[in-house]
Structure 1
Amino acid sequence: MSRIALLALLFATPVLAEEVNVYSHRQPELIQPLIDQFTAETGITVNLAFVDKGMAERLKAEGSRSPADLVLTVDIGRLMELVGADVLQPVDDPVLEANIPAEFRDPGDLWFGLTSRSRVVYASKDRVKPGEVTTYEDLADPKWKGRICVRSGLNDYNVALVAAYSLHHDAAETKAWVEGLKANLARKPQGGDRDQAKAIWAGECDIALGNTYYMGQMLADPEQKDWAEAVNVVFPTFEGDGSHMNISGMALTKSAPNKEAALKLMEWLSSDEAQKIYAETNHEFPVKPGVERSALVASWGDFTPDTLSLADIAAARPAAVKLIEEVDFDN
């Protein structure tokens, strides 16, 4: 074959575009701005599949045939489920190590935090005075009897909070606290975090547990704005420590057919640019040092994060679930 013919053949052969397949616990609209910007900058297509439940089981069933390269989750418990299912592979990457602090990374490099959030108290502006609730321990005080709303005790976020409580207190104290919290409920646990703010607005209760970022989502929704404006965000602490934290995170699957492109996405998600977009879009706290919180999130005030290891909290979750079921919290 002549040189000219060879060159013609090379130029005629289509170049396969890079792509990344992502399984996400997060609603697509919450991360689409990130995906769009990444694709615009790199030309890499991101195929996003929303997997609300059963991600670990799905990846395990798919095995080496799984198309998923990367997973995005909303809770440390979900990440640890994936670790336990043995469907992830470690990522030894200097960029991720430099951008994401050690407390937001798995010691074995199987998962990496992207944003953090705190489990806070929504407190009625009209019926709760500043300083009335300052600790998680306060929530079991009889003065709140009939005044607290909460979603299911078995929700991932509440399980993580109980798990964290159990690491700050002994078993008897933790059980007494869960029972005390249940005794103070104004109604049966139900709905999501936004529903608890709505209940406060409607006068059904005075305080509730919720994640910080839901406040931003409600303020951006004309139908829910009044709910958010009816409450103050209070950062309670564990006595002698800080406010309970959780993360959204990412991990590389064991199958990862597009590993190189997936690593580019992971690195980009940890960058200043992506962390800022994430913070502005989802009203969460960036994990990369030096990236500022959004103006709205900053307006809720400063707080001291709890010092517990996320891995330790995840390890305490099974016992927390057992306790929540034992006290029949949701009934």
Structure 2
Amino acid sequence: MHTLIKLPIVIATAVAALAVQSQAVAQEKVLNLYSARHYQTDEVMYDTFTKTTGIKINRVDADDAGIVARLRAEGAASPADVILLVDAARMASADSLGLFQPIKSAKLDAAIPANLRATPTAEGVTWTGFSTRARVIIYDPLRVKAADVATYDQLADPKLKGMVCTRSGSHPYNLSLFATVVERLGDAEGEKWLKGVVDNMARAPKGGDTDQVKAVASGECGVALSNTYYVARLLKSTKPEDRAVMEKVRIVFPNQGTSGTHVNIAGAAVAKHAKNRDNAIQFMEFLSSPFAQDYFANGNNEFPAVKGLKIANPAIKAMGGDTFKAETIPLGVVAKNMTKVQQMLDRVGYK
């Protein structure tokens, strides 16, 4: 015997089930994060954010170039809500491609200094720095006096002929520094300075920042540039060879008597086509909290972007990173010099 079921009842039941399922999905709070940060200490921040807010984080990890390429390929279909990149030059480049959207947040305005954020418009701010790192000078005390490397300007002094080593001039870490110097000195003097640095090189640019520090320790170079978190890693290392490196070199925070030491950022932005905009802003605000700032500074050897927070990291304190005078030229303004500086590097032969 067959049981007759009225079709309208079946359809109504199915529609009701779909409605409940859709409502459950809609109520699930999520944040899609594209991150160029690959630090284990960040996991604690993400977990704490989820436990505090109930917002689940779905994360895509890649390097800065990979993230930008993915965003451009995905276009309006991109699921990304927040983008984390690790350099002001990279933030500015992605911003110029229209990959971010401006936001307004009283919490961020109050917590993060204006010079560590994109230049604001009437619509808001497109990207914000949440941690900083200083670009310091490393030198060999057997060959160079501290007074001879007290400023970035002195890297072009003929006194350092055949001693200077750096990674590629076109690397974002150097581009950000050079763009700051050009902003401070002006185009003509800035390009002259870059030419002087090239003239003083011990060898063609190569390797990363850690390689530059080791090259000074080995005697290949007398002077080099490095971000502070690379130096901190060597200082905290338990490897005998790393300890030996740091015993042979000294660290200078340049321009302490004038403009201050150049600082760069790791920053975040809300993606242009963010589907979870409110969650994205809430996450951005969380990154400025004392809890998150502590993890930036003490977990990954960076400096907090929020002023007034104490630094407990012994490696940072050992190099003087808790007391130095930082440059205050707005990174949003400096970022506009990137293309111009790259052209200068080409003209002076800075590889």
Question: For 1:1-331, what aligned pairs fall within 5 Å after superposition?
Answer: 17-29=28-40, 31-52=42-63, 53-106=65-118, 107-108=120-121, 109-223=125-239, 224-237=242-255, 240-295=258-313, 296-301=315-320, 302-330=323-351
Contact 1:34 1:278 in 2 (8 A): no
Post-superposition shift, 1:201? 1.8
Query: What is the DSSP-based 3-state SS (H/G/I as helix, E as strand, rest coil) of the residue aligned with 1:132?
Result: helix
Letter in 2 for 1:248: A
C-alpha spacing 1:257/1:241, structure 2 compared with 1 (3 Å): same
Structure number with greater Rg is 2
Structure 1 pair 227/50, CA: closer, same or farther in 2 (3 Å)? farther
8 A Cα contact 1:244 1:305, kept in partner: yes
SS of match in other structure, 1:196: helix
Q: Higher mean Cα deviation, 92-101 or 29-38?
A: 29-38
TM-score by length of 2: 0.84
Q: Which runs of 5+ in 2 are unaligned?
A: 1-15
Amino acid at match of 1:298: K
How far is 1:212 from its partner? Answer: 1.1
Query: What SS does structure 2 have at the residue aligned with 1:113?
Result: strand
Q: Which amino acid aligns with 1:235?
A: F
Q: 2:7 maps to what in 1?
A: none
CA shift in 2, pair 1:228/1:17, >3 Å: farther
Q: TM-score scaled by structure 1?
A: 0.89
Deviates more, 1:74-83 or 1:17-26: 17-26
Cα pair distance change 1:33/1:198, threshold 3 Å: farther
Q: Which blocks of at least 5 consecutive residues in structure 1 are unaligned?
A: 1-5
Task: Give the CA deviation at 1:229.
Answer: 4.0
Q: Which amino acid aligns with 1:94?
A: A
Give the deviation of 1:297 after TM superposition: 1.7
Residue identity opposite 1:294 in structure 2: A
Structure 1 residues 316 and 196: alpha-carbon distance in aligned structure 2, compared to 1, 3 A threshold: same
> What whole-Å deviation, never above 9, does each CA across 1:22-58 have from its counterpart, x for those lacking one?
1122224363332233234334332222231143342
Q: Could you tell me which amino acid in structure 1 is paired with residue 172 of structure 2?
A: D
For 1:318, the aligned partner's letter is T
Which residue number in structure 2 is paired with residue 3 of structure 1? Answer: none
The separation in 2 between residues aligned to 1:248 and 1:212, in whole angstroms, is 13
Moved more, 234-243 or 113-122: 234-243
Amino acid at match of 2:146: P
Name the residue aligned to 2:6: none
Return the alpha-carbon distance in structure 1 between the equivalents of residues 142 and 174 of structure 2: 26
Determine helix, strand or coil for the equivalent of 1:316. Answer: helix
Cα deviations by residue, 1:199-257 (Å, 9 ceiling, x for unpaired):
11222112200111111222344444433443222111288422112111100001112
Measured in 1, the distance between the counterparts of 2:20 and 2:156 equals 72
- 1:46 to 1:233, Cα distance in 2 relative to 1, 3 A: farther
Cα distance change of structure 1 residues 307 and 289 upon mapping to structure 2, 3 Å threshold? closer
* Identical aligned residues as a percent: 38
Look up the SS of the partner of 1:308 in the other structure.
coil
**Contact 1:284 1:293 (C-alpha < 8 Å) held by counterparts:** no
SS in 1 for 2:226: strand
Structure that is richer in helix per residue? 2
Cα-to-partner distance string for 1:157-200 (whole Å, 9 max, x where unaligned): 11112211112223332222112111211111011101111111
3-state SS of paired residue (2:310) = coil
- When the two chains are superposed, the root-mean-square deviation of aligned CA atoms in Å is 2.4
**TM-fit CA distance, 1:66:** 0.4
> Secondary structure of the equivalent of 1:251?
strand
